[in-house]
Chains A and B, each alone.
Chain A
């Protein structure tokens, strides 16, 4: 990684919108490892990521942000630490309407939190306009576990929403680095 470049990870369960988010943000054509999805029971969509997504945000004259997406299914879990190696932070995307939302939250926070050393932001998608409960419920569930990453409602199809997640994560990374410098 060149100086001033961040590598950040988009993770979360199948169908949470990781590939969509990276595609919405990337200034370059994304590298995709989409394959035909045969597990329509778990998620009714045509394609799924089998290895990784990759995109890049160019920041002229300064640095850039490398965007890596993980596969969401447990069977591809071996890819998660490979992709998380040397990452500056993680964005966990969740489907707010999924019946297994709590389980998904635990799985991905546990896999990437690294005892608090990994800056993290949670993005919750597919919430209805009048859902004022889910984001608070997730925040409370995390607080109960002494974990306090920002939790934001997002529409991953909207570039501004995804950018907000990235900006929140960059703030977390900065805070983390300041904390490490002061320690």
Chain B
């Protein structure tokens, strides 16, 4: 695949629209990247190409470490990772049932409400799963 090379332009455009819907309806979201599990950006919102690439690579590493820790702890598969600071939140969530596997990385500022952010991100992941799943 190498990022978007196998995913159709229509699917990428659909993913970008979904990220926009999520951002518009969720307080504090500053950027979001849909990424492949091996760290390529597939679609991005409110972030330049270089930053999207870096966020995709870091999101993929974090998701992989989270999965390894979950496995080590015997708590099955990690579905979500949250990094919190005084100034904001980074959340990385796996998109269910996609091949190749993908995740959503979201950055939000301190105006965000964690519960609302996670709910919105989860809904976005479910929509992406439905829409991109239909494309493959």
Contacts and interface: CB of A to CB of B under 8 A. Distances in A.
Given A35-B101, A36-B101, A52 B37 contact: no
A50 B37 CA distance: 8
Interface string A10-52: 0000000000000000000001111111111110000011111
A39 B72 contact: no
Contacts of A71: 61
B2 A39 contact: yes
Interface of B: 1-3, 6, 36-40, 53-54, 56-58, 60-65, 67-68, 72, 100-101
Interface stretch (A73-81, A108-116, A143-151): A73-81
A51 B53 contact: no
A50 B39 CA distance: 7
A38 B100 contact: yes
Given A33-B67, A33-B68, A48 B57 contact: no
Contacts of B56: 75
B60 A35 contact: yes
A38 B36 contact: yes
A31 B68 contact: yes
Nearest to B56: A75
Nearest to A79: B61
Given A75-B57, A78-B57, A36 B2 contact: no
Contacts of A40: 2
A38 B38 contact: yes
A35 B64 contact: yes
Of all A-B residue pairs in the complex, the 9 with the closest CB atoms, nearest first, are A33-B64, A38-B1, A50-B64, A51-B61, A35-B37, A75-B57, A51-B64, A51-B65, A39-B2
A51 B38 CA distance: 10
A50 B1 contact: no
Contacts of B37: 35-36, 38, 50
B38 A39 contact: yes
Contacts of B2: 38-42
Given A35-B64, A39-B38, 16 more contacts: A32-B68, A33-B61, A33-B64, A33-B68, A35-B37, A38-B2, A38-B38, A38-B40, A39-B2, A42-B2, A50-B39, A50-B64, A51-B62, A51-B68, A76-B57, A78-B54
Contacts of A38: 1-3, 6, 36-38, 40, 100
Contacts of A76: 39, 57, 61
Contact of A48 (B38, B53, B54): B38
Contacts of A78: 54, 57-58, 61
A50 B63 contact: yes
